[in-house]
Amino acid sequence: MTPLLDLYRCMARIRAFEDAAEAASQGGVSWGGAATEGAEVRVKGPLHLSTGQEAVAAGVCAHLHARDLLTSTHRGHGHTLAKGADPTKMMCELFGRASGYNGGKGGSMHIADFSVGMLGANGVVTAGLPIAVGAAHALKIRRQDAIAVSFFGDGAINRGPFLEALNWAQVYQLPVLFVCEDNRISATTASGPMTAGSQAASARAQALGIEAVQVDGNDVLAVSQAAERLISAIRAGAGPRLLHAQTYRLKGHVSVDPAHYRDPAELAQAQLNDPLLRARAQLQALGLQAQAAQIEEQARAEITAAVATASAAALPTPAQAYTDVVTIGEGAWT
């Protein structure tokens, strides 16, 4: 099992990255603080944060190899970092710079890095599931020693592609892990009243004969242990599996959303259950508080450097607006 320090390092990097991106999207420069009045908004367009959900990304991706494939959601910074993507290139993309993963033209919801198996974030709810299933089918046909993983939210289970993807994966016994990040809210609406049945992600998977495991998604060790067992079974040829991780999104739907629709008492309770706070307490109990503090300092230093690089990087030229597009009727990339 991956040591807790390694898991904490991954979570700290994700939190540092998203804190910095949040401040930049609000015109602020402080870490997790209020926006600085008059400061430049350097991240333009939608920015969906996964603050509070870091344990799921860290716990699952700790057991993946570079050759394994992954699809993410519109809230995908954590998955992308945990899979091994470069935080500086990611920040450059958020800042719209030419040196970003998509040349500064894709933004937060389109970051991909095939070199580490990250097939891409996706702005369409549930769209990553059939992509992951297709990738898994290709892996099986080619007899490649790898698996696919698809992260999705609880809001996705009420859309058709969820059942279609699970059904195809089970019928063809594909090497794919479905990971439901159940943060209990779909954009700005509580998911519970819109979803029939209890533990719907797990129950619907089990109805198709897919083993599903529920886990406390804010306990990074529990996530890691559950993911390790499921991934080992998939690698051994046991077919698809589903991990239902119950967590909580501590921020609004996007970085400039104050989330006034949230029950303040519920949010306050969730903040006490912050996965980083829980892991830090576990490390302190092991006498590793100094190492934890060093990890946090290193994460902030790394992301501060990434922000500085992104701030100074060049913007795309006007001519680059006409690259990476398909010419209709010819099917060729230009």
CA-based diameter of the chain, in Å? 64
The span from the first CA to the last CA of the chain, in angstroms, equals 46
Q: Which residues pair with 212 in a beta bridge?
A: 242
**Ramachandran region of residue 278, left (φ > 0), alpha (ψ -120 to 50) or beta?**
alpha
Collapsing DSSP to helix, strand or coil, 287 comes out as coil
Q: What is the pLDDT of residue 200?
A: 84
Tell me the whole-structure pTM to 2 decimals: 0.93
Q: What is the pLDDT of residue 197?
A: 83
Burial class (CB in 10 A: 0-12, 13-18, 19+), 225: middle
Note the residue count of the chain. 334
Residue 301 in tokens: 């230093």
Q: pLDDT 10s per residue in the chain (334 long)? A: 459 999 999 999 999 999 999 999 997 644 444 444 556 788 988 899 999 999 999 999 999 999 999 999 999 999 999 999 999 999 999 999 999 999 999 999 999 999 999 999 999 999 999 999 999 999 999 999 999 999 999 999 999 999 999 999 999 999 999 999 999 888 888 888 888 888 789 999 999 999 999 999 999 999 999 999 999 999 999 999 999 999 999 999 999 999 999 999 999 999 999 999 999 999 999 999 999 999 999 999 999 999 999 999 999 999 998 888 877 665 555 5
**Domain boundaries 4-318, corresponding CATH code:** 3.40.50.970
Q: What is the pLDDT of residue 156?
A: 94
For 226-254, what is each residue's pLDDT tens digit? 999 999 999 999 999 999 999 999 999 99
Question: Rounded CA gap, 47 and 76, in Å?
Answer: 10
Q: Which of 49, 80, 47, 87 is nearest to 307 (CA)?
A: 87
Q: Which of 250, 259, 88, 237 is nearest to 189 (CA)?
A: 259
Give the angle subtended at the CA of 234 by the CAs of 232 and 240, to the nearest 5°: 145
Burial class (CB in 10 A: 0-12, 13-18, 19+), 213: middle
Question: Rounded CA gap, 299 and 17, in Å?
Answer: 8
User: What is the separation of C-alpha 291 from the centre of its chain, rounded to a whole number of angstroms?
Assistant: 25
The alpha carbon torsion through 223, 228, 229, 235 (nearest 10 deg) reads 140
Could you state, in order of their start, the residue ranges of all structural domains in the chain? Answer: 4-318
Distances (CA, A) of 54 to 62, 70, 117, 136, 246: 12, 16, 19, 25, 12
